[in-house]
Chains A and B, each alone.
Chain A
């Protein structure tokens, strides 16, 4: 038996099929992951993300520490509640994890990292934090992501009265705190919505309130198709310590300026940038029938590449994938699916966001 979040019983009651995910028993679907996917693209769905790791970092030098630890620059966060997506790199610029960091107030940041990388992340952060005298506190909270075009309205309707208006007034990538809750306008689906942290013992009650407000439970299956359509990388599939952000479609998350900010991995990243990366990260749409999957071989005139994650896209009604291919790869490739070479088109991700397909099929 794996670890359970405080919403385990709520999932079982909602008819979830539970699977192991990084040591946690998590819902993969509640019947149909395609229905759950459409609910999020067109209305409102909710995901239990309580398994994710939430770490508070405090100390007078915490900003200085994070400007060293992360490839993106937390100095961009000027107002309390603002959030930033970043990679955490090793000295070779390999990706240890991707994460979201919130600026809570002077001397206090909150970081959310992946569940499957919990142990190695905390070991690395602890080691790097030593010279800066940072206090790290892991927060055992419940967390529910409510996502979709109607998600904010529906979720806000059941928040404590004092939080409703401020929550609806949040700008994208911002958060607020109050009444024991942390409400952030962030997500991993390509839709608008909130990620809401609450005391673990209150999570089940909030889950029920969201249900009553018309939010549909959605499992890890829908979460994967939604994030793939939105071209949001999955750690462990699309990237790991063997690749850099430049080879993972994440160049936009590297803050090169100011040039004197010495973040971990900077030197290795600069030499790769100056030499020109040999591989690029692209989207694929399968033209033939079938389903693209991770680890399938991509064949083109420019050489071979590999699909990092692939699936069937409910929004496009086609199979789509993210792939790492030689930098000279053109617009057409073939993918080896069980020994057959099928035709795929190279596209610039994302495939879909905000309820709409962004690719012509």
Chain B
């Protein structure tokens, strides 16, 4: 079973989001997503300042097996991409919820509330498996 921390929000495209007290959202891919992709070997993160729409492709994660797009969970402006992942993409396999992809200033922080909570994401994964 993949890990689904209770304090995060999730998308149907398997990103996780954590909204900080400073109004900045941290975004990564879920443990389920990293396990499905397999060993990650390349990550391309977005540049600071880029304006993203909700659902817009904003990063690429590549495993040995395949390339996969990462989508912005909500609209907003990129604060930074995680520079540590350029040389150590495998960090995502080791700790999907520690190895974040980008920090994002949501245009409307309330948008984050509209995403799935851990329970809903767990149910979504269970349904997707059938």
Inter-subunit contact A311/B67 (CB<8 Å): no
Is there contact, CB below 8 Å, between A289 and B60?
A: no
User: Which A residues touch B67, using CB under 8 A?
Assistant: 291, 293, 338
For chain A, give the interface size range.
Answer: 10 to 19
A-B pair count, CB < 8 Å, reads: 39
A:1-45 near B, CB below 8 Å: 17, 28-29, 32-34
Residue of B35, B41, B64, B66 ringed by the most chain A CB atoms within 10 A: B64
Chain B proximity of A337: nearest CB distance (Å): 9
Taken together as a complex, chains A and B put the C-alpha atoms of A291 and B63 apart, in Å, by: 9
Residues of B within 8 A of A59 (CB): none
- B41 near A312 with CB under 8 A, answer yes
Q: CA A267 – CA B58 in complex, angstroms? A: 53
Majority secondary structure of chain A interface residues (helix, strand, loop or mixed) = mixed
**A314 CB contacts on chain B under 8 angstroms:** 64
The smallest beta-carbon distance between A345 and chain B, in angstroms, is 18
Cα-based distance from A314 to B44 in the complex (angstroms): 19
* Min CB–CB distance B38 → chain A (angstroms): 6
B72-92 contacts to A, CB under 8 A, are 86
Q: Decide: A28 near B65, CB < 8 A? Known: A33-B39, A289-B42, A291-B42.
A: yes
**Nearest chain B CB to A18 CB, angstrom units:** 12
> Contacts A33-B64, A33-B65 known; A312 to B42 CB distance under 8 Å?
yes
Would you call A290 an interface residue if the criterion is a C-beta within 8 Å of the partner chain's C-beta atoms? yes
CA distance A319 to B41 in the complex (A): 9
Q: Which B residue sits closest to A314, measured CB to CB? A: B64
In the complex, what residues of B have CB within 8 A of residue A290's CB? 42, 44, 62
Known contacts A289-B86, A291-B62, A338-B60; decide if A29 and B38 are in contact (CB<8 Å).
yes
- With a cutoff of 8 Å between Cβ atoms, the chain B residues found around residue A17 in the complex are 35, 38
Once the chains are docked, how many angstroms separate the CA of A9 from the CA of B93?
A: 26
Those 5 A-B pairs whose CB atoms lie nearest each other, nearest first: A312-B41, A34-B39, A291-B62, A312-B64, A291-B42
With A32-B93, A338-B60 already in contact, 19 other A-B pairs whose C-beta atoms are closer than 8 Å: A17-B35, A17-B38, A28-B38, A28-B65, A32-B39, A33-B38, A33-B39, A33-B64, A33-B65, A221-B38, A289-B86, A291-B42, A291-B67, A293-B67, A311-B64, A312-B41, A312-B42, A312-B64, A314-B64
- Residues of B whose CB lies within 8 Å of any CB of A are 35, 38-39, 41-42, 44, 60, 62, 64-67, 86, 93
For this complex, 8 residue pairs linking A to B, each with C-beta atoms less than 8 Å apart, are A17-B38, A33-B64, A34-B64, A290-B44, A291-B42, A312-B64, A314-B64, A319-B41
